Amino acid sequence: MKKRVTMFVLLATLLVAVSQPVKAAFSAYAFGDYYFILNSPTDTQEDQHGFWLRRVYMTYDADISDKIKARARLEMHSDGKFGASELTLNPFVKDAYVSYQFHPLHAVMLGIQESLTWANIEKFYGYRHLEKTPFDLYKTRSSRDFGLSLKGSFDSGKKFNYAFMYGNYSSYKEEINQYKQVSGRFTFNPDANWMFEISGDLVNLSATKKSSLLQAFAGFTGDWGRIGLNYGRETITEDGKNDINFNLFSAFLVGKFSPKLEAVVRYDMCMDPLISGNDRFFLIAKGYEANFLMAGLGINIHPKFQVMPNIKMISYKEDAAGVTPADFSQFNITFYWVF
């Protein structure tokens, strides 16, 4: 009952806001799958299949003035865990921020917003509805944080861009400790085809434990499609313990055969044991080096409606004790629509 009331209040707020005398827009999109587990370490999951709706987003964007803009986004998502009982979609606030364009090339933003780790990379990739980008999939960083950011360009042509952020490192949740995250990002767009980016952050996890992430991305897009290469390294340091490193290389290729048909292939190579793994929608065991492969065919029934049959597989390298987990593979028919 409480979740229903929360959802109703949020939707009512959005509807009231739309009626106000400001330039505003309301948008929404959703995606999910018909999934079929082909291979799993757990016997009870073998041959499990069915429909699930992974995400629903409803967004309200408003231009309060020519310099002040605001966004409120409501997300509803499935738990995604292969548990013993069925779970409903849970609503929560995904974005809630205001930005001030204090200069034609520079703006400051306050509130729950995209973290700097992979926001640009995810947009270039274009297939979040198929699978998360690597550092999101392996739970290295969250997609959101509550903080204060400064973003802009060094030149009028907006080829050299920057962003800095100071945040809670608590995702879209409330802060409950004194430890924070600082991050920075530099992006170079020499023309409409190329994108180069380097980014990094430092997180205080506790009084004695820190995590840092450095990554680089290069991408090219053309009439035929796009290609992207991503490398990153997370290092966790803790007083009195050896450092933990996690190196990752990822590459993807999207090929456009026609306005109605395209394909995507992606490969992730985890060169160190996974620190977190993943337990939602697609199972990934932590503590092992892994290789992830994904391939899909996108059928664009409409510019705002895509159906994509795809397959995802993850395999592991033997650890020091000679243990190798069973592979996990899954076939999906993914659906994505904008409304």
Q: What is the CATH number of the domain that holds 222?
A: 2.40.160.10
Tell me what pLDDT residue 86 has. Answer: 66
Q: What DSSP designation does 45 have?
A: G
Tell me what pLDDT residue 144 has. Answer: 95
The answer as to whether 15 is a domain residue is: no
Tell me what pLDDT residue 301 has. Answer: 96
The answer as to whether 12 is a domain residue is: no
Tell me what pLDDT residue 13 has. Answer: 52
Reading the block at residue 140, the tokens are 């290295």
* 34 and 51 Cβ atoms separated by less than 8 Å: yes
The answer as to whether 7 is a domain residue is: no
The answer as to whether 160 is a domain residue is: yes
Reading the block at residue 25, the tokens are 């827009």
Given CA atoms 323, 324, 326, 332 in this order, what sign does their dihedral have? Answer: positive
Closest of 135, 142, 213, 146 to residue 175, by C-alpha: 146
* 285 and 42 Cβ atoms separated by less than 8 Å: no
Using 70 as the pLDDT threshold, list the residues of the chain that sit under it: 1-21, 84-86
Per-residue CA distances from 28 to 9, 59, 170, 270 (Å)? 17, 6, 25, 34
Range(s) of the domain holding residue 294 = 23-338
The answer as to whether 109 is a domain residue is: yes
The answer as to whether 221 is a domain residue is: yes
Reading the block at residue 22, the tokens are 């400001």
Tell me what pLDDT residue 150 has. Answer: 98
Could you give the CA distance from residue 318 to residue 291 in angstroms, rounded to a whole number?
12
Q: Is 337 exposed, middle or buried (0-12, 13-18, 19+ CB in 10 A)?
A: middle
Domain count of the chain?
1
Tell me what pLDDT residue 32 has. Answer: 96
Tell me what pLDDT residue 229 has. Answer: 98
The answer as to whether 18 is a domain residue is: no
The answer as to whether 8 is a domain residue is: no
Secondary structure (3-state) at 227:
strand
Closest of 192, 212, 298 to residue 252, by C-alpha: 298
Give the pairing of strands 225-238 and 328-338: unpaired
Q: Which residues contact 4 (CB under 8 A, 6 or more apart)?
A: none
Tell me what pLDDT residue 46 has. Answer: 78
